[in-house]
Amino acid sequence: PTITTTASTPVAQVSYPSATLKPGDRGAQVTTLQRALASLGFSPGKVDGDYGAGTQSAVSRFQRFNHLTSDGVLGPATLRALVNALRGP
């Protein structure tokens, strides 16, 4: 007899930044932002903890997609939209 098993793959929980961020910022919060953007399909390029041009561009694309002002800055409205997008439907 053939035994078929199906493994359930747990969905990875993606964390999100806990503060607003802007170009020029560096550190763990920026790395978290970059990973969150990448998980949503808005690749910032290299995940390096540096809020440079790639991250700014990814934030701008995310903002346009969510009908927000596209300034490339992770302000309060963009952070709320990011959290909601990561939480899913």
Number of Cβ within a 10 Å radius of residue 64 = 12
pLDDT, one tens digit per residue, over 17-66 is 999 999 999 999 999 999 999 999 999 999 999 999 999 999 999 999 99
- H/E stretch holding 27 reads none
Answer yes or no: is pLDDT of 16 > 80.
yes
Contact 74, 17 (CB under 8 A): yes
Segment 66-85 mean pLDDT? 97
Dist. CA 56–CA 47, nearest whole Å: 13
Which pLDDT band holds residue 79 (cuts at 50, 70, 90)? Answer: very high
* Alpha carbons 34 and 59: distance in angstroms, whole number: 9
pLDDT at position 12 over 70: no
pLDDT reported for residue 88: 81
